[in-house]
Amino acid sequence: MCGIFACYRHPDVQKFKPQALKLGKAIRHRGPDWSGSLISNDTILVHERLSIVGVDSGAQPLVNEEGTISLAVNGEIYNHRILRKTLKTPYNFKTHSDCEVIIPLYLEHGIDTPRHLDGMFSWVLHDKANDRVIAARDPIGVTTFYLGRSSQTPGAVYFASELKCLHPVCDDIISFPPGHVYDSKTDKLTRYFDPKWLTEPSNIPTAPVNYKELRSTLETAVRKRLMAEVPYGVLLSGGLDSSLVASIAQRETLRLNELAKKRISDNGNGNGYELDGHAPGHLVGIDDSDELATVNILPQLNSFSIGLPGAPDAIAAKEVADFLGTRHHTFTFTIEDGLNALSDVIYHLESFDVTTIRASTPMFLLSRKIKAMGVKMVLSGEGSDEIFGGYLYFHNAPDKAAFHKETVRRVENLHLADCLRANKSTSAWGVEARVPFLDKQFLTTAMNIDPAEKMITKERIEKYIIRKAFDTTDEPETAPYLPDKILWRQKEQFSDGVGYGWIDALKDNAELNVTDEMMKNPKPEWGNDIPDSKEAYWYRCMFDEHFPPHCASTVMRWTPTWSNQTDPSGRAISIHQQKYDDAK
């Protein structure tokens, strides 16, 4: 992940430049490899770079040959090679960066540019001739992005990857909505990602599940996300979602290693990989869906897990890694390690949501270990629970219409929950997390399935259809993707699976830090947004140490539906214990 900061139409941009550079520096953890800035008219772009693709030539902001278009991007464009080949007007590319293609796309498509992109991204583009700014965020909000305004500089618009860049200069900040594009011509945000399942959640899908399509689209989604010129790995909790991603990534890595050994070059039929001239030691080729990708060849896929000693997730992750043959790294943390990191975690997350903080802390600690090993990019399993109704509270869904609407709501809010957690927990240490389950094509396939197929019954465990899609019991010619005990393992939320003592310790320490009297007298500036537990109160106080009150409006509290519980932990739902009792 990179970090971007931009201001359009600042009244004195030259005078503002030193402060803009300082604000950009606040997110240098996202992009420790290089810093760049550019002033065009009264607009300034600041970029902090994490180099993953086009390592030797992709410094930003990117500028076209005429010097009329400048661009700052955070993200990855997976179909950039295809886009380069399909441009109507020839364009002289200066770099091998996957992001540079946005400039010629803008010249051809204007505000419709983000519709053509397949990837995760937040970007700000400035058109000097028209003094126009276009800014966009990826369809689901995998990359974090904010828009701000200031009463001190009316008419100016600010953009940044994180709140900490904006709150010193903005008194009005929103989370830039995913799947939207901002155009300074109209000073409006417009939705560009508009599939029917998202814009018409009351229109319940009726398509039967196609298990082969479900499997193949997820495999393609993982394959795309192996586009990298640096060491990569997978976050492996031992749960279904991360294990499936790891399994597919391992298969693809082994397949590419075989190609590398043979040095296959097949330009004739377009089905092979050839050595990439600008990235020695890498293969570039066309995958099964005609998507070009550059892949770093490693002798073994790295997998990473973390937990308290004896944590259920760590044990399961080791079983999966042994089954797949990945080079596995199990890290442990102590409760004291986690408690000591809380303030830093909240600073990086820019959230006071209980669920997000509980799960982010071990992920934050793990990311530091991963960075220390020289790995810059990891695949992760976020999104599956939202798409398939995998959270245990979905057991209580009254009917398929309610089930579907809740999955849509969860996917729509991912940018305020799990995507925010994955992005900021890893970016805190200059690591990039990619999420195959949130691939556009996979979402099209999975969200258009009749929700009756997804509902949890006595015969069907949560996320049954994605489990069944990768069950090769009836395919003797296909090697199993996962051991059955993992493929059919009950849902365990990450903050629980790292060790049940973690959440218990958080609650205990909240009791020590928040009195009953404090609960009765919340801060006046919180308004109606009152914490409902001592743990939530404790986190809100830590958030307030880092951020002013107007930043709180960007935070969403994660709470389960169809449940009276106040604790968002999956372990607090009765079905969790019941399932474990049944298994004994």
Domains of the chain: 3-194 (3.60.20.10), 209-334+354-492 (3.40.50.620), 505-583 (no CATH)
Q: What is the mean pLDDT of residues 335-358?
A: 97
- Kindly tell me if the per-residue pLDDT of 201 is higher than 80: yes
CA distances for 244 relative to 256, 414, 498, angstroms: 18, 20, 19
How many CB atoms are located within 10 Å of the residue 142 CB?
28
Q: With bands split at pLDDT 50, 70 and 90, how would you rate the model's confidence at 107?
A: very high
**Residues 2, 7, 419, 551: which is the catalytic one?**
2
Report pLDDT digits (tens) over 217-230.
999 999 999 988 88
Share of the chain above pLDDT 90, in %: 80
- Kindly tell me if the per-residue pLDDT of 395 is higher than 90: yes
**380 annotated ligand-binding residue:** yes
Point out the least confidently predicted range of 11-20, 115-124, 247-256. Answer: 247-256
- Kindly tell me if the per-residue pLDDT of 281 is higher than 90: no
Output the CA angle 510-514-517, nearest 5 degrees: 150
Strand-pairing partners, residue 119, are 77
Cβ neighbours of residue 166 under 8 Å, at least 6 residues apart? 23, 146, 148, 158, 160, 173
Catalytic residue flag (residue 2): yes
CB–CB of 137/177 below 8 Å? yes
* pLDDT for res 271: 47
**98 annotated ligand-binding residue:** yes
**482 annotated ligand-binding residue:** no
Q: How far apart are CA 141 and CA 411, in angstroms?
A: 10
| Residue 430 vs residue 499, higher pLDDT | 430
**75 annotated ligand-binding residue:** no
> Where does residue 44 fall: left (phi above 0), alpha (psi -120 to 50 degrees), or beta otherwise?
beta
Q: How far apart are CA 72 and CA 554, in angstroms?
A: 23
Report pLDDT digits (tens) over 63-74.
999 999 999 999
| Residue 445 vs residue 57, higher pLDDT | 445
Q: What is the mean pLDDT of residues 213-218?
A: 98
* pLDDT for res 143: 98
Q: How far apart are CA 168 and CA 438, in angstroms?
A: 33
* pLDDT for res 571: 53
Point out the least confidently predicted range of 42-46, 64-68, 290-294. Answer: 290-294
* pLDDT for res 490: 80
Q: What is the mean pLDDT of residues 95-107?
A: 95
- Kindly tell me if the per-residue pLDDT of 583 is higher than 80: no
Task: Describe the crossing of helices 211-224 and 440-447 by its angle, rounded to 10 degrees.
Answer: 160
**58 annotated ligand-binding residue:** no
* pLDDT for res 42: 97
Q: With bands split at pLDDT 50, 70 and 90, how would you rate the model's confidence at 56?
A: confident
Look over the chain and give the mean of its residue pLDDT values, rounded to a whole number: 90
Model pTM above 0.75: yes
* pLDDT for res 21: 98
Share of the chain above pLDDT 70, in %: 88
